[in-house]
A and B are shown apart, each in its own frame.
Chain A
Amino acid sequence: MIDVELLHAYVDGELTADERAQVEAAVRTQPSLALQIDAIRRQKELLGRLPEVECADSWAACRARFTEIDKTKRIEGFVGRYAWAMCAFVLCTIFVGAMLRRANPNAVRTGQVAAAVSGLSFPFPSADSKRALANSQVPEERNVATLGQIAIVGMAELESDGKLMRCVKLRDAVGTFDFVIVYGAAKIEAENTAEDGYLRGQANSQNCIAWWREGAAFFLMAPNRTHEELIAIAGMIH
């Protein structure tokens, strides 16, 4: 009795010479085996005659995906090759942008003033001083004669970034506050100046307003004062 798997392998041409001879010898003695082999062969041929499946659309979709893959690989390759160059370009762009923003050397940065004031030691501390502002060393161009309620506590001058700064510590009935004048300032570098001409913000953790007039920048800062209160004081100083 011959193994039926041998018959299938015989039809498929998958037997060794010895196995083939064994099958052919068996077929000669058992004619039914020839029928079986013939049936296997016909069935195999039947499957081999199956028509091709229509797939043109699917192949077109495949080609489109190949194109997408190529495009992605090109981009990835470009990015991979030039990543450092692109990073350098971006950094250079940021640097150049920053330089352009600082193109006006006479502009004043608010941080510059805050930093200067925070480290300031007033040379004339006189907490008890009740001198009227009219008698103080405040520049003459300031109309201070009307500020009878505000007294000068101290004053200092310093130079920052090539500009002369005059820092005045003042006191009124509520408390002390700092008034800084930066001479020769072309403008104040800031983007949030309100329509009233005052820049509102924070400096050294205290409310601060700033404004520019006639070539000088003015900063007024005080703890526990609202921006509106500072603006009212600024109006008095004006």
Chain B
Amino acid sequence: MLFGKRAQRDAFERQAERVFPSVFGTALRLTRSREEAEDLAQEAMVRAYEAFDRFDGTNFKAWMLRIVTNLYINKYRQRQRGPQMGSLEEDNILEPMAEAAELPDRQVFDEMVGAEVEEALGKLPEDFRVAVLLSDVEGLAYQEIAEITDVPIGTVRSRIARGRALLRKFLLDYALMEGYVKPGNQE
């Protein structure tokens, strides 16, 4: 029995160590605070460790991201500042379709550095941010994101499209500010 537990811990640690950067990165991008991200990531790992015998063995990374996202939603979200999801999507204020003229120059995305992208990501409304993060940063499929966030797959598709459109706007603002593109020369 003791050997079984030792082996179980080893198995958990092997998988957890591989996905921990993703878990921590997601926690950091959700909370936007390193201290809170450490608490969130560690609590998620502890919960996962305690529930490891209930893991179905299919996709450990998705399982971990589900834990960290749900934990954030249930525990940390109330304390967070900044934009919240709701009005943008429900009132249809945000237009997901970018006009061709608004499309950024190809060079823009190559010139962007991590800090600028992270800051733009941080400005996204929360539900858009979660969807874009899980899709584009963590590489999860729509179905997995739908299960993690507990919304229909159509809502995931919509949030990703709208989140990306808004992120593109923020990135373009940066590009204009930093001189990567000039006004009127964004195509």
Contact = CB atoms under 8 A, between A and B. Distances in A.
Contacts of B160: 8, 12
A80 interface: no
A8 B145 CA distance: 15
Contacts of A65: 42, 45-46
Contacts of B98: 4, 36, 39
A9 B160 CA distance: 9
B102 to A, nearest CB: 9
B20 A8 contact: no
Interface string B1-40: 0000100010011001100110011001000000000100
B67 interface: no
Interface string B37-56: 01001100110011000000
A14 B109 contact: no
Interface in B131-163: 132-133, 135-137, 139, 141-142, 157-158, 160-161
B114 A42 contact: no
Interface string B112-124: 1010011001000
Contacts of B177: none
Contact of A4 (B97, B104, B139, B171): B97
Given A8-B160, A8-B161, A63-B13, A35 B50 contact: no
A35 B49 contact: no
A4 B163 CA distance: 12
A25 interface: no
Given A46-B117, A70-B9, A52 B137 contact: no
B164 A70 contact: no
Contacts, number: 112
Given A5-B157, A36-B98, A59 B20 contact: yes
Contact of A66 (B20, B49, B136): B49
Interface residues of B, number: 49
A64 to B, nearest CB: 10
Interface residues of A, number: 36
A63 B12 CA distance: 11
Contacts of A47: 117, 121, 132-133, 136-137
A62 to B, nearest CB: 4
Given A53-B24, A66-B13, A5 B158 contact: yes
A140 to B, nearest CB: 75
Contacts of A70: 5, 9
B167 interface: yes
A48 B24 CA distance: 16
A62 B46 contact: yes
Contacts of B16: 62
A65 B136 CA distance: 31
A73 B142 CA distance: 38
A126 interface: no
Given A35-B100, A40-B164, A55-B24, A12 B42 contact: no
Closest 4 CB pairs of A and B: A47-B136, A55-B24, A4-B97, A5-B161
Given A43-B168, A53-B21, 20 more contacts: A4-B97, A4-B98, A5-B158, A14-B141, A39-B168, A40-B164, A42-B110, A47-B117, A47-B136, A48-B137, A48-B139, A50-B114, A58-B20, A58-B24, A61-B42, A62-B16, A62-B45, A62-B46, A66-B13, A69-B49
28 contacts: A8-B160, A8-B161, A9-B142, A12-B160, A32-B100, A39-B103, A40-B164, A43-B109, A44-B135, A45-B109, A46-B112, A48-B136, A48-B137, A49-B114, A53-B28, A55-B41, A58-B20, A58-B41, A59-B17, A59-B20, A62-B42, A65-B42, A65-B45, A65-B46, A66-B9, A69-B46, A69-B50, A73-B5
